[in-house]
Structure 1
Amino acid sequence: MAIRIAFFDAKSYDRENFAKVNENFGFDIQYYKERLSLNTVSLTQGADAVCIFVNAECDARVIERMAGYGVKLIALRCAGFNNVDVQAAKQFGIRVVRVPAYSPHAVAEYAVTLMLALNRKVYRSVYRTREGNFRLGGLLGFDMYGKTVGLIGMGKIAKELVKILRGFGMNVLAYDLYPDEAFAKEHQVKIVSLDELYEQSDIISLHCPLTKETQFIINSDSITKMKYGVMIINTGRGKLIKTADLIDGLRSHQVGSAALDVYEEEANYFYEDRSDKMIDDDKLALLLMMPNVIVTSHQAFFTREAVHNIALTTLQNILDFSEGKELVNEVK
């Protein structure tokens, strides 16, 4: 009997990619457009595994219900697992797997895209020229060459980003609890403390996981330690930044600009078309109005190669579980 998978938050591109890859696996996948939550957990009845994404609500109450329905595996089709109560899953005998490395190139390249677009005001220029306005006022940027970028986190994505930034002739600082000293030496990355990174960086880019220790790592205290006019890039998780404090920093010009591919309270907005509705999140609405802020829809991962790798690794994780093999991508 084929393994049955309850697939939540399914978009058209998810169905297309997973259906194609599943031709080689033969799983029974039931796609649901809803996100997993306490209100939708009943859809997991009869499923052996659930497949969820970044905005699923997978707390202890949801996990207990799923265990009662017979679910034995939570398969995240993303790298982060901060939205899953891993301890509760262990308590109720449900294993958790993820996709730790679908395409570090995709996210690294997107982080650079945001840096360049924000610095050179590309988004503002496009809007202007479409209206016949070819003035240069307000579009002044700076040379990336010779500037200092500080990376918080030094995992696979950050390492790919380092290679790109060094190609621009930039100085790279990095903070990580367990830094790869050999890589840093090879690519001329200076390992520093967090305070040193704040003080010396012209651009700060976030590439650390969301944990209790890193939640709101960018806040009013850390912002006051940064260079005046610093650029902040976040392609990681929204709650790495305390939004209210970022807004205050932008207002005071301590933060010169910010590009956010993720947002602290993104679940009700990202991946949905809300163009015909008023945005009732005041902080998000304010960020969208600021001329020195770019907000995109959690799309840094979104390349053909990445979505294929996500589908392939997710279904391989499920196959390994069904065959009793070692789960190399298990969250423990």
Structure 2
Amino acid sequence: MKVLIYSAKDFEIPYLKQANNKKHTLSFTEEALSSETAMKAVGYDAISIFSADEACFITIEKLKDFGIKYITLRSVGYDNVNLRTAKRLHIKVANVPAYSPYAIAEHAVALLQTLNRKLIESNFRVNHYNFNLNGLVGFDLNQKTVGIIGTGKIGAVMSRIMHGFGCILLGYDIEENETLKERYNMRYTTLKELCNQADIISLHLPLNTETHQLINDDLISEMKDGVILINTARGAIINTEDVIEGLKNKKIGALGIDVYENEKNIFFKNRSQELPNDDLLLKLNAMPNVLITGHHAFLTEEALTNIAETTIYNLNCWASGKDTENELTN
């Protein structure tokens, strides 16, 4: 099978080649999929895309015209793909449903502790041989209340880690995880109550119509003063303008994000020679109590191996005329 890998990054290509083991003919392009770049897929049987690629209605129709039969995502999320159109046009789509919940959850903890213990400011001072400790006070995580919004695979790992720190766990999800309740004393509650009580809130939700801008003025007003908010899920789960206002009035004490609602045209490229034309991102980046990483929570050896192996597995299934259990268009 001839496969074009869109948004190919240098760090992932070796993993994909190793997992492929010369089974399929892989070609790589740094360009993201869009209605303009869909033409590159002419002559291929399948494409592989990343979370920043755009497989909208128009793009998928073009891909169909160009002979594409399969789309395999190198991500869990698939909100960037118009599945209805793909299904109507008989293009099969599959994702990587789980690659490493540990990678994401551990990154969330890294964001939390970096903010809490003022590590960036401390390191900056030491680099300038300033060993003054004023302004570097954090708090023990032990006995702090942590609200986990979304208790699926990643949220469950985050819960386990926080329990290890001695935290009190509150959970919110449409489906309760009995294991978390039994082993880690998680108490499920309403969003409002979770916000009222949590010292730390960590988001682990998929992006859909129900979760889009879930964290907005209304919910922020219910939060404890000085709450630390962590988002390693999807950028558009939070209303960035409302969160900035929450940071300004100190309702939100600190914000750690690996995702950003307008990241599609900004992240994954070196833009050090040009300031992004995005006022919200510039405002966030200027705040001392905000920590932003560029959607790299997934970036571990284990996760990259799993992503590559599942991507090739999906292709193998289709090449042999079988369905893969990871299909989204069944």
TM-score, structure 2 length as denominator? 0.98
Cα shift at 1:252: 0.5
Aligned to 2:240: 243
Q: Report the residue type matching 2:11 in the other structure.
A: Y
Deviations 1:297-332 (A, max 9, x none): 101110011101100011001111121223111114
Give, in whole Å, the separation in 2 of the partners of 1:27 and 1:84.
23
From 311, 314, 321, give the equivalent of 1:314.
311
Bigger shift: residues 101-110 or 321-330: 321-330
- Percent identical pairs in the alignment equals 42
Aligned to 2:8: 10
Aligned to 2:209: 212
Cα shift at 1:30: 1.1
Bigger shift: residues 318-327 or 59-68: 318-327
1:122-271 paired onto structure 2 within 5 Å? 122-271=119-268
Cα shift at 1:139: 1.1
The answer to whether the 8 Å contact 2:159/2:180 transfers is no
Give, in whole Å, the separation in 2 of the partners of 1:286 and 1:128.
23
Give, in whole Å, the separation in 2 of the partners of 1:148 and 1:19.
44
Deviations 1:42-98 (A, max 9, x none): 011111111000110110000000011111111000100011011111111111100
Matched, 1:67 2:64: yes
Tell me, which stretches of 5 or more residues in structure 1 are unaligned?
none
Cα shift at 1:120: 0.4
Aligned to 1:45: 42
Cα shift at 1:182: 3.7
Give, in whole Å, the separation in 1 of the partners of 2:66 and 2:287.
47
Number of residue pairs aligned between Structure 1 and Structure 2: 329
Cα shift at 1:269: 1.8
Q: Report the residue type matching 1:97 in the other structure.
A: A
Q: Report the residue type matching 2:319 in the other structure.
A: S
Aligned to 2:108: 111
Give, in whole Å, the separation in 2 of the partners of 1:316 and 1:120.
42
Give, in whole Å, the separation in 1 of the partners of 2:125 and 2:255.
20
Q: Report the residue type matching 2:132 in the other structure.
A: R
Structure 1 runs of 4+ with >4 Å offset:
none
1:29 partner SS: strand
Cα shift at 1:279: 2.6
Give, in whole Å, the separation in 2 of the partners of 1:167 and 1:229.
23
Tell me, which stretches of 5 or more residues in structure 2 are unaligned?
none
Deviations 1:224-262 (A, max 9, x none): 011111110000011001110100000000011000100
Q: Report the residue type matching 1:105 in the other structure.
A: Y
Deviations 1:250-301 (A, max 9, x none): 0000011000100010112211111111232111011111000000010111
1:12 partner SS: coil
Deviations 1:8-54 (A, max 9, x none): 0111112121112211x511111011000011000111111110001
1:317 partner SS: helix
Give, in whole Å, the separation in 2 of the partners of 1:86 and 1:200.
38
2:267 partner SS: coil
Q: Report the residue type matching 1:210 in the other structure.
A: L
Give, in whole Å, the separation in 2 of the partners of 1:95 and 1:172.
40
Bigger shift: residues 263-272 or 60-69: 263-272
The answer to whether the 8 Å contact 2:95/2:328 transfers is yes
From 10, 18, 21, give the equivalent of 2:19.
21
Q: Report the residue type matching 1:176 in the other structure.
A: D
From 323, 326, 329, give the equivalent of 2:323.
326
1:174 partner SS: strand
TM-score, structure 1 length as denominator? 0.97
Aligned to 2:51: 54
2:11 partner SS: helix
Q: Report the residue type matching 1:213 in the other structure.
A: E
Cα shift at 1:206: 0.5
Give, in whole Å, the separation in 2 of the partners of 1:52 and 1:79.
11
Cα shift at 1:183: 3.3
